[in-house]
Amino acid sequence: MSTVKNKNSNQAIIVAGIGEVLWDIVGRQETLGGAPVNFAFNAAQLGASAYAISAVGDDGRGNRAIKLLQNKSIDVDYVQKTTQQTGYVLADTDDNGIATYRFPDNVAWDNLTLNPAVCQLIEKLDVICFGSLAQRSQTTRETIYHYLTLASNEQEKHQASINTLKVFDLNIRQNFYSRKIIERSLQFANVLKLNDDELVLMQRLFALKGSQEEQLKQLLNDYGLSLIALTRGEKGSMLVTANEVSEHAGFRCQVVDTIGAGDAFTAGVVMGLLKGLSLAQINHQANYIASYVCQQAGAMNDIPKNVISELY
């Protein structure tokens, strides 16, 4: 198992979210989202240089998405334009602010193709974050695997440490997954992030046994992962490495909606990991950021400087 290469305070952390860019539609309100770009946005809030690797349509929603990402300090040079419409999701929230989602088929991010410029970008990246949803189409899935293979080849040049951290946010949506897709993603990944509902699914797919901690350690060992982050809603989270386990009870807050909270948590974990924080500090930071996002509507809300200053 390789170790994570820490970055000192003078080195910029460079991250990319690869996969879906879409509009979350709740009632008549549309807000920009998609787990990979939500991750990139929150990492940028915490000091990273962030890139989006995705596709939008040549339409009004696509143009608005590009402009908004730019305004959120996310580099959009690697966002393609396609003939398909820009992705969107109909998000319904219950009385507790918990969201469920409905996705249209064959949208722009289902048609992400290889870009030679991205192949060059891979060499500079400290982090690639990807999930299962964008892999629902063969075109985008093969593109993601190509980029992850390049990042893995870069890692082989630096056997003592991980050159590009590959973060797999399971992010199960409807039936857009398979055991094969999840397993291939785990083989690429160094870090896995999932929630407690997704862990129940993983128990069935991978015959996991024992307590939550034991199940996570089984996955950690089977796939040579450096870290697994499990979110447990109002019950907080658990972080597991080969040598340590950290549990956090979470922060009580008034939930407006949970859209983007998991992505903010992932960003907090990854940035803390690369900054060399202890596992307990990483867990605290990630929960703190996620709780702030839960108190806002939508996925991309600027985090006030005073909130960030509480973390460092």
pLDDT per residue as tens digits for the range 42-87:
999 999 999 999 999 999 999 999 999 999 999 999 999 999 999 9
Q: What fold is seen in the domain 11-309?
A: UDP-N-acetylmuramoyl-L-alanine:D-glutamate ligase (3.40.1190)
Collect contacts of 243-252 with beta carbons under 8 A, ≥24 apart: 244/279, 245/213, 245/279, 246/279, 246/280, 246/282, 246/283, 247/283, 248/280, 248/283, 248/284, 248/287, 250/287, 250/291, 251/287, 251/288, 251/291
Task: Read off the pLDDT of residues 161-199 as tens digits, 9 standing for 90 and up.
Answer: 568 999 999 999 889 999 999 999 999 999 999 999 999
The answer on pLDDT for 8 being more than 80 is: no
Two tokens at 128? 């690639």
Domain-wise residue ranges, the chain:
11-309
Of 8-17, 20-29, 281-290, least confident by mean pLDDT is: 8-17
* Beta-strand pair 29-33/14-18: unpaired
Q: What's the pLDDT at 256?
A: 75
The answer on pLDDT for 138 being more than 70 is: yes
Q: What's the pLDDT at 143?
A: 98
Task: Read off the pLDDT of residues 144-164 as tens digits, 9 standing for 90 and up.
Answer: 999 999 998 766 645 545 689
Q: What percent of the chain has pLDDT over 90?
A: 72
Q: What's the pLDDT at 92?
A: 78
Of 63-67, 224-228, 235-239, 293-297, least confident by mean pLDDT is: 293-297
The whole-angstrom separation of Cα 95 and Cα 69 is: 30
Collect contacts of 69-74 with beta carbons under 8 A, ≥24 apart: 69/21, 69/32, 69/37, 72/41, 72/44, 72/300, 73/44, 74/37, 74/40, 74/41, 74/44, 74/50
**DSSP-assigned letter for residue 207:** T
Give the angle subtended at the CA of 264 by the CAs of 258 and 266, to the nearest 5°. 115
Helix (H) or strand (E) holding 145: helix 138-156
The whole-angstrom separation of Cα 135 and Cα 280 is: 32
Alpha carbon 18 to its chain centroid, in Å, reads 9
User: Once rounded to an integer, what is the mean pLDDT over residues 246-255?
Assistant: 85
Give pTM, 2 decimals.
0.91
The whole-angstrom separation of Cα 89 and Cα 110 is: 13
User: Once rounded to an integer, what is the mean pLDDT over residues 234-243?
Assistant: 95
